[in-house]
Amino acid sequence: MTYDASAREERGAVPAAGGDRTFWGRLASWAPYRALVQIATATPRRQFLILAAFPVLWVLTQHLGPMLQMLRVSLTDAYPVAPGTEQHFTFDNYLRFLGDSIFWMPFFRTLSFAFVFTLCTLILTYPVAYFLARHVSPKNRMLLLLMLLIPFWVGEIVRTYAIMILLGNTGAVNLVLKWLGLIDRPIPFMYTSFSMGVGIVYLTALYMLLPLYSALEKLPKSLNEAAADLGAGAWTRFRRVTLPLTLEGISSGCTLVFLISTGFYATPVLLGGPSTTVFAETIAGFFHVAGDEWPTGAAFAVIMFLAALVITTLFQKLMTALRKGDAK
Amino acid sequence: MTRGNRILLSCVYWGFVAYVFVPLVLMVLMGFKDSKFIGFPIRSYTLEWYMGLFENAEVISAFGYSVGIAVLSTLISVFVGTWIAVLLEGRKFWGRAAIFGMTVLPALVPGIISAIAFRIYARYLGIEPGMGAIVWAHAVHNVPFVVLVVMARLSTLPKSQIEAARDLGADPLIAFLRISLPYLIPAIMGASIFCLLLSFDDFVRSFFLGGYEPTLPVLIFAKLKSGMSPEINAIATAALVLTAVVGVWAERFTRRMNKES
């Protein structure tokens, strides 16, 4: 809301600057400052433009700029341009993706991994969120939630390393299994899609837990009670009442986790093996070597981003349709 | 809800708690192992690895480097983010949705792609890999979080307070600095801590935009690639303790401030 100067003058308000000897009073009565303010706030339109110019410039150049520049580089044949040569626009970098299975295999692997890990995260955290929202008294709820948040403050690398210690051949899981007499020699968990899954779910669980928790917390208990009064069993109540009404939380949690899962680089490098190379490693490969591979790397990053966007958009559309279908 | 379901639910809950905490506890413990080899069982304990941290110049310099980057990038993020939030909150104008979309974009781009895009753009702008590039990338990446937190708080500011200030003759800038800004302090503090932690723990952007000097996560990664050792446990534990302490303190601090105002 803008407050225009004329209305203020009509009401007879005067700047209270004269006798005000505080810092603010002195600033307000300082002539150059007042002149500047007068120029800046002469019209609501000008005032708005001054407020808006910097943010608009920032998001265009800093938020959108990198993405557009990546897109532009992905369509060139050489970057940076060597002196004495010309830069040409080409789709070759994108065609290169289709040409070789060492490129598109990791791509599809990444998408299917992200899909499976997202599903695992959902299945794991839904009961946790449900327990917190339904079976814990509101007083303890914040404390328990906060306790779960602490490990999530810790960075990606540290938590990945913690999983390495847990799952290694001489790790805690193998020690316990051996001690229980279930195995004679350690199970090689590490450097498989299993260890990668354990690591990635560990890193993303919070992004699923929080939307689910807030969706479940908003849900009035009376709905469930009404369904129970009408004779619905526990499973029916969950399937017909709780689940449809928390679809929004599920939808935003899954979208977030899917997007984040496709972007991990260090975790697959440390926890995965040669058979679990993900697309992030493929993309990174083009940036480790000399600069002339950058356009291909950029093109692959664009492919990855577009694929992730298309999939999450379709998913959101599907969830919206499901919600509408239930509302009828 | 039957009794069986209830027990099952609490089992899943405590299982999840174990999943979240046990790996970190084991990592801390392993730093006390009196051997060069990582692995269980731990037969004898030593403080050697943790004490060694204080003499390890490489670790200390990486630590300082990471903290410096975190502080600088947070200052930029908070300044820019607050400004954007003030523009977007409670105002209707042509293109608002587009600006909001662009504002949250960096938070939605998957890690590796964001790192690559920043790497390409840094070269386009002529920023050499190194501290400046990392600070810039972290600052841009963290802006959306500041915007969202500050906007949420700003939406609860009673409009009448600003109107009263304006009636008493305050110009929009002074009204903002003396009314809105103090009201926003809890949100800005919370967002700052969040940015500090995000920046301090960030790996992928620091890795692709860094020069020869590693940040702490990049140093841990580099050491891990050449093999695990209790030394890494000690370094990782130091990073963990710092983040956890700052995180918990911030949570309590912002809650207290929210209560007071």
Per-residue pLDDT, A300: 94
Per-residue pLDDT, B29: 87
B residues 50..79 contacting A (CB < 8 A)? none
Provide the 3-class DSSP secondary structure of residue B180. helix
Which range of A13-22, A273-282, A297-306, B21-30 scores highest in mean pLDDT? It is A297-306
Rounded mean pLDDT, A248-254: 92
Distance of CA A197 to the CA centre of its chain: 18
Q: Which of B230, B202, B198 is nearest to B216 (CA)?
A: B202
User: Which pLDDT tens digit goes with each residue over A154-184?
Assistant: 889 999 999 998 898 888 888 888 888 888 8
Evaluate whether A200 touches A267 at the Cβ level (below 8 Å).
yes
Sole residue written with tokens 């500050």: B150
Q: Which of A264, A156, A240 is nearest to B236 (CA)?
A: A156
Q: What is the DSSP letter of A81?
A: P
Q: Cα(A3)–Cα(A14) distance, rounded to whole angstroms?
A: 15
Give which of B3, B73, B82, B116 to mutate to test A binding, by max A Cβ within 10 Å: B116
Per-residue pLDDT, B191: 92
Query: How many residues belong to chain B?
Result: 261
Q: Cα(A76)–Cα(A65) distance, rounded to whole angstroms?
A: 17
Rounded mean pLDDT, A196-208: 93
Q: Cα(A300)–Cα(A279) distance, rounded to whole angstroms?
A: 8
| Predicted confidence band of residue A8 (pLDDT cuts 50, 70, 90) | very low
User: Would the CB atoms of A171 and B240 count as touching at under 8 Å?
Assistant: no
Q: Report residue B241 as tokens.
A: 């303790």
Backbone angles phi, psi at B35, to 5 degrees: -170, 160
B residues 169..228 contacting A (CB < 8 A)? 169-174, 177-178, 197, 200-204, 207-208, 217, 220-221, 224-225, 228
Q: How far is CA B220 from CA A15, A172, B203, B236, in A?
A: 58, 21, 10, 7
User: Would the CB atoms of A270 and B169 count as touching at under 8 Å?
Assistant: no
pLDDT at A18 over 70: no
Per-residue pLDDT, A227: 81
Q: What is the pLDDT along chain B (261 residues), one digit of tens a residue?
A: 567 778 888 888 999 999 999 999 988 888 887 777 777 777 778 887 888 888 888 889 999 999 999 999 999 999 999 999 999 988 888 889 999 999 999 999 999 999 999 999 998 998 889 999 999 999 999 999 999 999 999 998 888 888 888 888 788 888 888 888 999 998 899 899 999 999 999 999 999 998 889 999 999 999 988 888 888 888 888 888 888 888 888 877 777 776 765
Q: Report residue A64 as tokens.
A: 């959108």
| Predicted confidence band of residue A290 (pLDDT cuts 50, 70, 90) | low
pLDDT at A201 over 90: yes
Per-residue pLDDT, B243: 85
Q: Report residue A203 as tokens.
A: 């890193």
DSSP annotation string for B22-82: HHHHHHHHHTTBSSSS--SPP-SB-SHHHHHGGG-HHHHHHHHHHHHHHHHHHHHHHHHHH
Q: Cα(B84)–Cα(B175) distance, rounded to whole angstroms?
A: 17
A155 closest CB neighbour out of B6, B9, B239: B239
| Predicted confidence band of residue A11 (pLDDT cuts 50, 70, 90) | very low
Residue B93: half-sphere exposure toward Cβ, Cα within 13 Å = 17
A residues 81..120 contacting B (CB < 8 A)? none
A residues 129..188 contacting B (CB < 8 A)? 130-132, 134-135, 146-159, 161-166, 168-172, 174-175
Query: Considering the domain A109-273, what is its CATH architecture?
Result: Orthogonal Bundle (1.10)
Sole residue written with tokens 């790790």: A171
| Predicted confidence band of residue A19 (pLDDT cuts 50, 70, 90) | low
Distance of CA A256 to the CA centre of its chain: 5
Q: Across chain A, which distance is largest between two alpha carbons, in Å?
A: 90
How far away is chain A from the Cα of B234, in angstroms, using its nearest Cα? 11
Any residues with CB less than 8 A from the CB of B196 and at least 6 apart, and which?
B70, B71, B74, B246
Please give the residue that has the higher pLDDT: either A221 or A112.
Answer: A112
Q: Is the dihedral of CA B88, B90, B94, B100 positive or negative?
A: positive
Q: Which of B242, B110, B25 is nearest to A163 (CA)?
A: B25
Helices A294-327, B111-125: inter-axial angle, 10-degree rounding: 140
pLDDT at A274 over 80: yes
Q: In A, which residues are within 8 Å of B155 by CB distance?
A: none
Domains of chain B: 56-260 (1.10.3720.10)
State the burial class of residue B124 (Cβ atoms within 10 Å of its Cβ: 0-12, 13-18, 19+): middle
Q: Cα(B36)–Cα(B34) distance, rounded to whole angstroms?
A: 7
Q: Cα(B99)–Cα(A12) distance, rounded to whole angstroms?
A: 38
User: Which pLDDT tens digit goes with each residue over A27-72?
Assistant: 888 888 888 888 888 888 888 888 999 999 999 999 999 999 999 9
Q: Which of A252, A280, A254 is nearest to A201 (CA)?
A: A254
Q: Which residues pair with B45 in a beta bridge?
A: B33
